[in-house]
């Protein structure tokens, strides 16, 4: 789906908008789910109060029962329209209470901050029973899963053809069903009716059936997919292996049948009205390459690629739990034959992302968690079935049931997104990001392994040296990492606790033994050489394990690739794991050189973890940083004239340097990097509500001086204070805060009795609005640059990492100038984003740097801009 189509269908605030055909099909798919399934969604008795937010219009409209039925009729008929029509985007529930607008009785109950949105709870007084049911269900899953793991997997199943046409009336499927286990093992049967009860394995389709399948994909109203793993489990299983082996893709195709087509219609199909019905068909597509190879395999691969291409450009959305993994699997299947550019417009409706937007504090819920939270409690999910202890027949039946449930869950969550005013954000930002992240994960960072191993060995030598020193000064050998042994030496043998000027040293919790923590060691470090040695040992050990060995452990075939988590933060930021590339030390670290190291230049050794990352031959890293992104957003949101002036007038200057020179009363040229970093810390701390004590510690001045600085800063930028107060007041009023794109963070603790909790929630509220908005812009930048490169016939630059405000690309040397101009232009023009009705009062500034290693990037000369007026996105 194309970006412009998105923009068309996300302009839904007025409830009725003209839609492009592709966008409309997405909406039709969503609503065909609504019309069939809406009754299964929990509805509460009370109606939302209208807050000062146009997006709540839905709930107001929905109070009218007539509207609701009209809407349903509209929805059914809209599915057959093609373009320029109007769709009422009201959600299915007739009366919805928003979680941030609790009813009076709920307020009295002081609902826990972790409670799910109340609109999903059928009756509040049944909540305990529901939770209990869920808990017992979970225990059941765990038991079931444990049993499954013990059983062995079946081996080598023979291939068996079951040829029957989609349109044919053969009864072969009946015969096949009798031998259910084998049928399901091969998943083979092309008959339309059979496909409603079984999976059709694409491998066994004849040419006619193949073309029918492609046609079905083109006509599909909904496509629901899940990856199938080697053991028969799917993405819907709660516990996922770190590197699960994908075997294939199971999908549910829902197509409209109007009675006149070639496909058979049965009474069991869902009736949509006007003679049209929905038909479910289950398809299985193997992606794992079999051992046979040869021409047959090649022919199959070719067709499988065709099916996957068709899915990528599907006119309806593809529903998938963890859609990023699906996209990555597709990219992997394409291998060298496919460019990453093929997935750029893929739209995968991911219920996990939808649920996260609604409740960002709910960390990584599994499919069953979501079903328990958002669907009826009576539904039982069998997600943990594997081939282990269940017949394939049962496993595949569960997969079919779960695909249906996944569809229902997703449709319901989509409706909820609209209720909360999050639909636009979901469609313009979070969904387009899925292929971006999948492509990032498919690319591997080259790491200088030799250098890493050398550094590891160096650090290892230093650790050995420190250990020997420790043994020497202690007068005996002991295990340096054992705190018990260390405690015995420090306090048993050396009796440092008796020599310490501190009256009492901290003790361990339960056993009340003298602690060997860092604070204790620091307190006694002048009494004996041992504590200092231990402190350095621990420091070096930490660097070795975190930045060298930790990274080496993540390496496969000389390179690393982080896993990007789209739903791991409360502010909307991305996070990275294995390794956490966002936390890799930027500044070189100095340690004392081990004595056995040759070369005499200096006694210190510099370790620069980022320098281990190198661009491949003929390529260069290019980093694009948003300059002072949060401060610019703060200027925009507060409208502070002084801050706005600072950004508008000194567009080419560094604002933190300017502030530093003002604060320290020195010329901007004399501001050092450390000064600037300090100012940055102080400014953000002040804005986000740091106390004068913390600021004093940060600045290295007295508490009084810090208080004075705080006052003068907030006095100069008066409107910052107003912004902070307004944000907190709004949070108190509604129970949540929102970023510039409408991303929400519920903060129920803002109404807590405890003053500390309340104050913390208030600081979080202020921080979220700014940090969340910056995160929105950075994600937007990723999408826009990604799309721009994909649209270019020549550019090949790849996004390899995002470090919050910095995008790191790997660019062909020859393309640096062209790409640099494109990146700068694209990122800076995000000042205006039409799709999100965003227009910042301040310009955005992007600084570029490039180099052959990530640790050695040098600023790129600023290319002349095409025009001073940035184009809008």
Partner DNA sequence: GCGGTGCCACTTTGG
Partner DNA sequence: TCCAAAGTGGCA
Which chain residues interact with DNA by CB under 7 A?
481, 483, 507-511, 513, 515-519, 538, 541-542, 545-546, 549-550, 565, 568-571, 573, 575-580, 582-587, 625, 628-631, 680-681, 684-685, 688-691, 693-694, 698, 755-756, 759-760, 763-764, 767-768, 771, 774, 803-806
Dihedral sign (CA 800, 803, 807, 810): negative
Output the smallest distance, CB 633 to DNA, in A: 8
**Count of CA atoms in the C-beta half-sphere (13 A) of 729:** 6
Q: How far apart are CA 569 and CA 590, in angstroms?
A: 32
Q: What is the token pair recorded at 222?
A: 């909904």
Given a contact cutoff of 8 angstroms between Cβ atoms, the answer to whether 272 and 278 are in contact is yes
CA distances to 417, 631, 733, 749, 761 from 729, rounded to whole Å, are 25, 21, 6, 13, 12
Task: Classify residue 133 as left (phi > 0), alpha (psi -120 to 50) or beta.
Answer: alpha
Least distance to DNA from the beta carbon of 236, Å? 22
191 touches 173 (CB < 8 A): yes
How far is CA 276 from each of CA 32, 214, 425, rounded to the nearest angstrom? 12, 21, 33
Give φ, ψ of 226 to 5 degrees: -150, 145
In the complex, minimum distance from the CB of residue 619 to DNA, in angstroms, rounded to a whole number: 22
Minimum CB distance to DNA smaller for 191 or for 516: 516
Nearest-approach distance from CB 830 to DNA, in angstroms: 15
Q: 613 with 800: CB under 8 angstroms?
A: no
Nearer to DNA by C-beta: 94 or 802? 802
- For residue 607, give the H/E element and its range: strand 604-607
φ/ψ bin of 735: left (φ > 0), alpha (ψ from -120 to 50), beta (otherwise): left
* Max Cα-Cα span within the chain: 95
Confirm if 88 and 16 have CB atoms less than 8 A apart. yes
Let me know how long the chain is: 873
- CA 530 – CA 532 distance, rounded (Å): 5
The residue among 121 and 857 lying less far from DNA, judged by its C-beta, is 857
3-state secondary structure of 743: coil
Residue with tokens 């006619």: 208
CB of 235 to DNA, least distance (A): 19
Judged by CB, which is closer to DNA: 546, or 605?
546
Of the pair 522, 814, the CB lying nearest DNA is at 522
Q: Which ranges in 79-126 belong to alpha helices (H)?
A: 104-109
The token pair at 739 is: 């970023």
Helices 392-419 & 367-374 angle (0-180, nearest 10): 50
Residue 180 vs 513, nearer CB to DNA: 513
For residue 773, the minimal CB distance to DNA (Å) is 11
CA atoms of 401 and 97, how far apart (whole Å): 30
How near is the Cβ of 363 to DNA at its closest, in Å? 8
Least Å from the CB of residue 586 to DNA: 4
401 by Cβ neighbours in 10 Å (0-12 / 13-18 / 19+) ranks as middle
User: Among residues 113 and 170, whose Cβ is nearest to DNA?
Assistant: 113
Nearer to DNA, 124 or 629 (CB): 629
Closer residue to DNA in complex, CB, 58/356: 356
Rounded to a whole number of angstroms, the minimum distance from the CB of residue 568 to DNA is 4
SS3 701: coil
Q: C-beta of 271: minimal distance to DNA in Å?
A: 45
CB of 575 to DNA, least distance (A): 4
Residue 574: which of 769, 846, 803 has the closest Cα?
803
- Based on CB atoms, which residue is closest to DNA, 309 or 684? 684
User: What is the nearest approach in angstroms of DNA to the Cβ of residue 144?
Assistant: 20
Minimum Å distance from CB 444 to DNA?
16
For 703-836, where are the E strands, in sequence order? 736-738, 744-746, 798-803, 806-812, 832-833
CB of 349 to DNA, least distance (A): 24
Shorter beta-carbon distance to DNA: residue 185 or 766: 766
Nearest-CA neighbor of 234 among 130, 346, 382? 382
Nearer CB in complex with DNA: 383/629: 629
- Residue located via tokens 């005996």: 476
Measured from the CB atom, the residue of 403 and 646 that comes closer to DNA is 646
Q: Which of 834, 758, 830 is nearest to 113 (CA)?
A: 758
Q: Shortest distance, CB of residue 807 to DNA, whole angstroms?
A: 11
Shortest gap between Cβ of 781 and DNA (angstroms)? Answer: 13
How far apart are CB 485 and DNA at their closest, in Å?
9
Which one, 570 or 835, has the nearer CB to DNA?
A: 570
Number of C-beta neighbours around residue 85 at 10 A: 16
- Nearest C-alpha neighbor of 830 from the set 858, 792, 791, 788: 788
Radius of gyration, CA atoms only, the chain: 30
- Smaller CB separation from DNA, 306 or 763: 763
d(C-alpha 377, C-alpha 364), whole Å: 20
CB-nearer residue toward DNA: 87 or 671: 671
Pick the closer one to DNA by CB: 317 or 360.
Answer: 360
Exposure letters 514-531 (e unless 16+ CB within 10 A, then b): bbbeeebbebbbebbebb
Q: Which of 227, 308, 216 is nearest to 253 (CA)?
A: 216
């Amino acid at each position: 789906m194309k970006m412009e189509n998105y923009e068309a269908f996300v302009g839904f605030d007025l409830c009725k908008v003209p839609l492009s055909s592709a966008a409309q099909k997405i909406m039709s798919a969503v609503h065909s789910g609504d019309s069939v399934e809406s009754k299964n969604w929990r509805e509460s008795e009370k109606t939302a109060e209208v807050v000062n937010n146009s997006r709540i219009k839905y709930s107001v409209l929905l109070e009218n029962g007539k509207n609701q039925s009209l809407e349903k009729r509209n929805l059914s008929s809209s599915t057959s329209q093609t373009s320029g029509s109007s769709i009422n985007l009201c959600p299915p529930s007739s009366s919805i209470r928003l979680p941030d607008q609790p009813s009076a009785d709920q307020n009295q109950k002081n609902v826990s901050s972790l409670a799910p949105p109340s609109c999903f709870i059928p009756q509040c007084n049944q909540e305990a029973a529901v939770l209990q049911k869920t808990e017992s269900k979970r225990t059941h899953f765990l038991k079931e899963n444990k049993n499954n793991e013990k059983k062995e997997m079946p081996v080598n199943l023979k291939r068996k053809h079951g040829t029957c046409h989609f349109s044919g009336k053969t009864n072969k499927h009946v015969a096949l069903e009798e031998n259910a286990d084998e049928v399901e093992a091969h998943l083979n049967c092309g008959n339309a009716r059979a496909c409603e009860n079984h999976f059709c394995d694409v491998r066994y389709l004849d040419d006619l059936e193949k073309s029918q399948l492609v046609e079905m994909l083109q006509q599909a109203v909904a496509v629901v997919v899940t990856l199938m793993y080697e053991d028969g489990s799917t993405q819907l299983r709660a516990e996922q292996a770190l590197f699960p082996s994908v075997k294939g893709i199971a999908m549910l195709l829902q197509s409209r049948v109007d009675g006149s087509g070639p496909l058979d219609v049965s009474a069991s199909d869902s009736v949509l009205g006007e003679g049209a019905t929905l038909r479910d068909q289950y398809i299985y597509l193997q992606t794992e390459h079999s051992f046979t190879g040869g021409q047959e395999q090649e022919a199959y691969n070719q067709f499988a690629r065709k099916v996957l291409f068709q899915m990528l450009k599907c006119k309806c959305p593809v529903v998938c739990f963890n859609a990023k993994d699906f996209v990555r699997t597709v990219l992997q299947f394409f291998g060298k034959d496919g460019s990453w550019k093929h997935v750029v417009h893929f739209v995968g409706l991911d219920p996990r992302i939808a649920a996260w937007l609604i409740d960002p504090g709910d960390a990584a819920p599994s499919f069953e968690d979501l079903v328990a939270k958002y669907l009826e409690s009576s539904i039982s999910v069998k997600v943990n079935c594997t081939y282990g202890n269940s017949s394939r027949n049962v496993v595949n039946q569960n997969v079919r049931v779960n695909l249906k449930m996944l569809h229902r869950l997703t449709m319901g969550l989509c409706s909820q997104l609209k209720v909360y005013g999050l639909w636009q954000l979901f469609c313009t930002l979070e969904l387009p990001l899925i292929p971006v992240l999948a492509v990032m994960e498919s690319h591997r960072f080259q790491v200088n392994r030799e250098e890493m191993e050398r550094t590891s060995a160096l650090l290892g030598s230093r650790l050995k040296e420190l250990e020997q020193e420790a043994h020497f000064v202690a007068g005996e050998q002991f295990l340096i990492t054992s705190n018990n042994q260390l405690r015995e030496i420090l306090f048993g043998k050396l009796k440092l606790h008796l020599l310490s000027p501190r009256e009492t040293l901290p003790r361990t919790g339960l056993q009340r033994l003298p602690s060997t923590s860092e604070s204790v060691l620091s307190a006694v470090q002048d009494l004996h050489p041992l504590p200092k040695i231990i402190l350095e040992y621990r420091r070096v050990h930490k660097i070795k394990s975190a930045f060298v060995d930790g990274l080496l452990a993540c390496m496969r075939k000389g390179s690393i690739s982080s896993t990007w988590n789209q739903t791991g933060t409360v502010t909307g930021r991305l996070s990275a794991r294995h390794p956490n590339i966002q936390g890799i030390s930027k500044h070189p670290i100095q340690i004392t050189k081990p004595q056995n190291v040759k070369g005499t230049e200096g006694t210190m050794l510099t370790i620069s973890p980022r320098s281990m990352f190198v661009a491949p031959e003929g390529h260069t890293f290019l980093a694009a940083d948003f300059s002072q992104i949060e401060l610019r957003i703060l200027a925009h949101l507060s409208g502070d004239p002084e801050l706005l002036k600072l950004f508008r007038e000194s567009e080419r200057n560094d604002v933190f340097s300017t502030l530093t020179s003002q604060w320290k009363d020195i010329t901007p040229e004399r501001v050092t990097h450390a000064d600037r970093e300090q100012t940055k810390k102080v400014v953000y701390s002040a804005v986000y509500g740091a106390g004068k004590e913390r600021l004093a510690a940060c600045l290295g001045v007295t508490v009084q001086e810090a208080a004075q600085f705080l006052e003068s800063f907030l006095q100069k930028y008066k409107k910052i204070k107003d912004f902070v107060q307004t944000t907190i007041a709004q949070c108190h009023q509604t129970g949540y805060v929102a970023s510039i794109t409408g991303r929400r963070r519920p903060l129920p603790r803002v109404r807590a009795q405890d003053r500390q909790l309340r104050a913390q929630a208030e600081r979080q509220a202020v921080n979220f609005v700014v940090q969340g908005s910056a995160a929105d812009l950075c994600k937007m930048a990723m999408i826009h640059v990604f799309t721009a490169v994909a649209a270019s016939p020549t550019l090949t630059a790849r996004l390899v990492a995002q470090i919050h405000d910095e995008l790191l690309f790997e660019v062909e040397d020859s393309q640096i100038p062209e790409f640099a101009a494109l990146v700068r232009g694209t990122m800076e023009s995000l000042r205006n984003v039409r799709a999100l009705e965003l227009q910042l009062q301040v310009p955005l500034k992007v600084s570029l740097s490039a180099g052959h290693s990530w640790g050695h990037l040098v600023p790129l000369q600023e290319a002349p801009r095409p025009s001073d007026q940035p184009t809008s996105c």
